[in-house]
Amino acid sequence: MIEFKDLSDEIKDKIREIYEDVKRGKVSLLDLELVPIFNDLKNTLNTSNIDKYSKVYIDACELLKDKFKEFQDLLNSMEDEKKFDLYLKSNPDDKEIIELFNECWIKTFQLQSLSYDFLEQSQIKLSRDRIPPIVIEHLKREKVKENFILELPTQKFTDKMNDFLETIKKKLPCSFNSIFDSMGNQIEIYEKFVYLLHLLQIKEVKYKHETDILYI
């Protein structure tokens, strides 16, 4: 029994590979030799694979058609270059050249409520990052008359803490953050925060985490 070669899948893969290489710009159809593809189709065609080969043959013909199209475009471009070269050699005056190039420009459309300039500016604005940049600022060191905790020359820590407790009793119960609402100085906030931690530790003040409420 005679075994016939079936190259339909190989040829189909080859055609697909050529299209991918052309799309990536690796090769041009004008540089490719397509005769081997048609020779493989002719030499391995038989009655058992004619159905599959007919489909691959259509793909090969499309590839050949695309190559002829590129060749035609190349000839047209060469012809246009030749015509333009002859035109320039005819020594046209400046006015003719200006009129010729004026026809090459695509004028932007203008509407009363819309224009190309408006669209371009809108595109620039929309493409900007809406999230403001993160700015890291160093905290300013504030000078105080006394060193907190390390030195308490006028009053002991416990006395100051109790004084603080008396000042906040009239506000309690209240939220944790509201204790510091009237304080604008960072050093004062830190000092009173330490007092509050000690008061919580000795249970002079209590805190309910679920509601964020301080109470006595």
Domain boundaries, the chain: 8-102, 157-215
Mean pLDDT on 32-59: 85
213 or 184: which carries more pLDDT confidence?
Answer: 213
pLDDT at 130: 61
Q: Give the confidence band of 105 by pLDDT, cuts at 50, 70, 90.
A: low
- Determine the Cα–Cα distance for residues 61 and 140; give it in Å rounded to an integer: 78
More confident residue, 143 or 88: 88
Residue 153 has pLDDT above 70, yes or no: no
pLDDT of residue 141: 57
Q: How confident is the model at residue 1 (pLDDT cuts 50, 70, 90)?
A: very low
In this model, does residue 37 exceed pLDDT 80?
yes
> What would the mean pLDDT of 181-201 be, rounded to a whole number?
83
Of residues 93 and 1, the one with the higher pLDDT is 93
Whole-number pLDDT of residue 128: 65
Q: How far is CA 35 from the centre of its chain?
A: 45
User: What was the pLDDT predicted at 77?
Assistant: 77
pLDDT band at 125 (very low <50, low <70, confident <90, very high): confident
Hey, which residues does 208 pair with through a beta bridge?
Answer: 213
DSSP labels, the chain: -PPPP--HHHHHHHHHHHHHHHHHTS--GGG---HHHHHHHHHH--TTTHHHHHHHHHHHHHHHHHHHHHHHHHHHHHHHHHHHHHHHHT---HHHHHHHHHTTS-PPPB-SS-BHHHHHHHHHHHHS--SPPP---PPPP---SS-TTT--SSS-HHHHHHHHHHHHHTT-SEETGGGGTT---HHHHHHHHHHHHHHHHTTSSEEETTTTEEE-
> What is the average pLDDT score of the chain?
77
pLDDT at 2 over 60: no
